[in-house]
Chain A
Amino acid sequence: MTLDRLDLALIRATQGGLPLTPEPYAALAAKLGTTEAEVIARLTALQDTGILRRIGAVPNHYRLGYTANGMTVWDVADAQVDALGEAIGRLPFVSHCYRRPRALPHWPYNLFAMVHAHSRVDADALAAQIAAVLGAACHGHDILYSTRILKKTGLRLVD
């Protein structure tokens, strides 16, 4: 699907969020010079193609008590990493799961999975569940906890 000017305008107009008014799509339409029906049709099409992942609430992990946010990293056999990555992504406590290149010799890990827990002890238990799924295909792992946010501006649509 190719995004046209109106799709991009809609993405930009909602980067800060959906208007908190009783008729938010009509409010967007007025801002963009189109109709409410067109805004709803565009968002439906974007959702159907997966460009729009979801419309909903994004909680602040820390405020909900998820203070142990660990980047778990795994050295998984190349032949099995894609099938196992799918399985890890399905675990309910994993928020992001990616295959990335190794940076040898110091960084042997090719599978990254973010986990969120109320304590490091709980996060370590979640990592043990991941290890159980990976089994013998995994040759090593680590958990990197964030100790400080140095910058967080979020990804923005490029102009």
Chain B
Amino acid sequence: MSIVALSALDKRIINQLHGGFPLCPAPYRVAAEALGTDETTLLERLTALLAEGTLTRFGPLFNADHMGGANVLAAMAVPMARFDAVAAQVNAHAEIAHNYQRDHALNMWFVAAAATPEAVEACFCRIEAETDLAVARFPKEREFFVELKLSA
């Protein structure tokens, strides 16, 4: 994926619209003033940044813990000869939200999300039965507050 060159305005949008978006009837107009632009331009730039993939999303971000479901990180040590076949077996489960290859003996890391912890566990058990590989479960025991800003 290519790295983009951004205009000064686009950089301000990405760096300053991290959070704190106004909760008022015309929030883009208020936010645009703070960014030194106008509502129409801000809406055009957000639309373009989303379309080109520089932003993956613009809007409310909810805490998954409150969204009525369970999600658990897990990992497997997959023999390289079977890696793509096992990835296909894991990804075939609708519960799997993300799956990454990582450079470690535990080389496949995925998150399963479902309505209940029992449904997540059942998904892991099915993956173990289908692949004949152990799934190491890493449920979140505690989340530490973070406030990341990636500057553009």
Contacts and interface: CB of A to CB of B under 8 A. Distances in A.
B146 A95 contact: yes
A5 interface: no
Contact of A59 (B62, B63, B101, B150): B150
Interface stretch (A47-55, A121-129, A132-140): A47-55
B144 A144 contact: no
Contacts of B3: 62-65, 67
A60 B105 CA distance: 28
Interface size, B (range):
35 or more
Contacts of A33: none
Interface of A: 3, 8, 11, 14, 16-18, 20-26, 36, 40, 43-44, 46-47, 50-67, 71, 82, 85-86, 88-90, 92-101, 103, 106-107, 112, 116, 142, 144-159
9 contacts: A25-B27, A52-B63, A57-B57, A58-B56, A64-B54, A94-B148, A100-B138, A158-B68, A158-B113
Interface of B: 1-4, 13-14, 17-21, 23-29, 39, 43, 46-47, 49-50, 53-64, 66-69, 71, 73, 87, 90-91, 96-106, 108-111, 113-115, 136-146, 148-152
